[in-house]
Structure 1
Amino acid sequence: MTELDFDYLRAYLKQRSGLALTAEKRYLVESRLTPVCRRFGQASLRDLVGALKISRDTAMERAVVEAMTTNETFFFRDRLPFDLFRDVLLPQAMAQAAGRRRLRIWCAASSTGQEPYSLAILLQEAAAKLAGWHVEIVATDLSTEVIEKARLGLYSQFEVQRGLPVQWLLKYFTQIGEQWQIGASLRSMVDYRQINLLNGFEALGTFDVIYCRNVLIYFDAPTKADILNRLAASLAPDGALLLGAAETVIGLTDRLSPHPIHRGLYGHPVAAGRAAPPMTLPLRAVAAR
């Protein structure tokens, strides 16, 4: 692959997915796109680049983008965002929405489904408190391939061993051969949709809680700012946005503010300040970490 070919692929991926690849990521492009070459009958990455320039093969274009998308995830990843949801955000959202008894959650980079299903498990555990409520989980991802896997809810032994407590594995999953499938009732709680965060997502409506974790780190600053501003527009006035541990809104937007206590939690500036005093984790949640 020549430098010109690499530069073309960097620009191509930036335009279609927002990925900002630095020069030292050339090895990653070569390793991930070589299988795409074989799949579409291209002898080399140079031939693949040539085909992308002249072809309108949407399957090939999608395969190139999806091959470069990082889909690392596991159940209850980093634990704290889920303790925070169970012990703080869910009770707070229920208090705020008591009149309408409706709760909307968006997982904005859901990958193969472990994050939204982790939230679905917590909601099922709180089912008695949520009787009479309409709870909606919308899960979106750029990759149609991982969305299909998420909808199926079928995971390997290795995948269910990563972060999922064994009691919940036995309670909510059924073993099928060497794999485990999450129950139909929990699968039905999640509405999966293909969404590119670079494009408009206003049609999804507003949400009480938005998880957009470990995706902004792959974008450049202007792209991060644009997405954060549009996430702010999709967040309810007293809503909560959770980002990854290495992500922040500081220096990117003034439409969201970090919570003074909880790392990774953001809200509208007035709401973030007003909610600060009560938003502390109970001792049992802290001890669990």
Structure 2
Amino acid sequence: MTPSEYGFLKQFLKSRSGLVLSDEKQYLVESRLVPVTRRTGHKNLSALIADLGPRGSEDLKNTVVEAMTTNESFFFRDKTPFDHFRNTMLPNLLEGRRSQKRIRIWCAAASTGQEPYSLGMCLQEDRHKTAGFRFEILGTDISTEVLEKARTGVYSQFEVQRGLPIQMLLKYFTQQGELWQVSPELRAMVQWRKLNLLENFSHLGTYDIIYCRNVLIYFDQDTKRDVLQRLAKQIPEDGYLVLGAAETVVGLSDAFEPVPQHRGLYRPRKQGAAASPRLGSAFPTLKAMNS
């Protein structure tokens, strides 16, 4: 791959997905795109890159973007965001939504589905406390391939062993040979949709909780600011935004403020006096669930 070809690829990926690659990442691009050239019948990377121009196939462009998108995920990843969900967000929203009886949750970088299904399992475990409420969980991702996997809810033995307590595996999954499938009841709790965060998503409406974890780290500063400002318009004043451990709104957006002592958890900044989050404690922690 020539320097000019790599320069074109960097700009192509940034414009299509927000992914920012340094000059030192050329090896990564080559390792992920060489298999694509074999599948698509291109002679080499140069031929593949030549077909990504204005007249190139949209299917090919999407294939290249999906090959370069990181889709690392596992059940109850990092634990803390799910403790926040059960101990803080859910109790407060159950109180604040007593009249509407509806809570909407959006996982904005759902990958292969472990995060939305983990939230669904939390709700199932606490259904005696959420009786009468309707929950809507939406999982979106830029990749059609990972969304199809999420929709089917079929995972390998390795995937279900990563973060998933054994009692939950046996309770919410059915074994199919060497694979495990999410139960129909749990699958029915989540809707899936392809979505690029660089594009307009206002049509989705408002969500009480938005999980947008481990995706902003791949964007440049301007793109992060833009995405955060648009996310702020999708969350009601008493809603929540959840970011990854390595992500923050500090220095990027004044539309959110951190929830004190809750790493990665943010609320829309109220006009005037700053809000003082009311912390719930009625729900057991994920650690207790796993014991």
Work out whether the TM-score is over 0.5.
Answer: yes
d(CA) in 1 for partners of 2:234 and 2:220? 21
SS at match of 1:196: coil
> Normalising by structure 1, what TM-score?
0.96
Contact kept? 1:71, 1:112, Cα under 8 Å? yes
SS at match of 1:237: coil
Q: Partner of 2:276 in structure 1?
A: 275
d(CA) in 2 for partners of 1:106 and 1:51? 35
Offset from partner CA, 1:83-105 (integer Å, 9 cap, x none): 11011111111101111100000
d(CA) in 1 for partners of 2:91 and 2:280? 12
Q: Does 1:18 align with 2:2?
A: no
Contact kept? 2:210, 2:242, Cα under 8 Å? yes
Q: Offset at 1:279?
A: 2.0
Q: Partner of 1:243 in structure 2?
A: 243
SS at match of 1:270: coil
SS at match of 1:24: helix
Contact kept? 1:105, 1:137, Cα under 8 Å? yes
Q: Partner of 1:59 in structure 2?
A: 59
Q: Offset at 1:55?
A: 3.8
Describe how 1:19-38 pairs up with structure 2 within 5 A. Answer: 19-38=19-38
RMSD: 1.8
d(CA) in 2 for partners of 1:136 and 1:49? 40
Contact kept? 1:84, 1:281, Cα under 8 Å? no
Q: Where is the helix percentage greater, Structure 1 or Structure 2?
A: 1
SS at match of 2:209: strand
Amino acid corresponding to residue 131 of structure 1 in structure 2? A
Offset from partner CA, 1:32-69 (integer Å, 9 cap, x none): 01111111111111111111126431211110000000
Offset from partner CA, 1:237-281 (integer Å, 9 cap, x none): 1001000000000111111111222110111112994233x3266
* Higher mean C-alpha displacement, 25-34 vs 51-60: 51-60
Q: Does 1:183 align with 2:183?
A: yes
* Higher mean C-alpha displacement, 67-76 vs 262-271: 262-271
In structure 2, runs of 5+ residues without a counterpart are none
Q: Partner of 2:108 in structure 1?
A: 108
Contact kept? 1:259, 1:273, Cα under 8 Å? no
Describe how 1:133-172 pairs up with structure 2 within 5 A. Answer: 133-172=133-172
Offset from partner CA, 1:77-130 (integer Å, 9 cap, x none): 000100110111111111011111000000000000000000000011111222
Amino acid corresponding to residue 100 of structure 1 in structure 2? Q
Contact kept? 2:91, 2:282, Cα under 8 Å? no
In the alignment of these two chains, the number of paired residues is 288
Q: Does 1:230 align with 2:234?
A: no
Describe how 1:72-83 pairs up with structure 2 within 5 A. Answer: 72-83=72-83
Amino acid corresponding to residue 138 of structure 2 in structure 1? V
SS at match of 2:104: strand
SS at match of 1:137: strand
Q: Partner of 2:126 in structure 1?
A: 126
d(CA) in 1 for partners of 2:184 and 2:62? 29
d(CA) in 2 for partners of 1:127 and 1:53? 51
d(CA) in 1 for partners of 2:58 and 2:136? 31
d(CA) in 1 for partners of 2:148 and 2:104? 22
Describe how 1:192-211 pairs up with structure 2 within 5 A. Answer: 192-211=192-211
Q: Partner of 2:90 in structure 1?
A: 90
d(CA) in 2 for partners of 1:279 and 1:199? 34
Identity fraction in percent: 55
Contact kept? 1:6, 1:26, Cα under 8 Å? yes
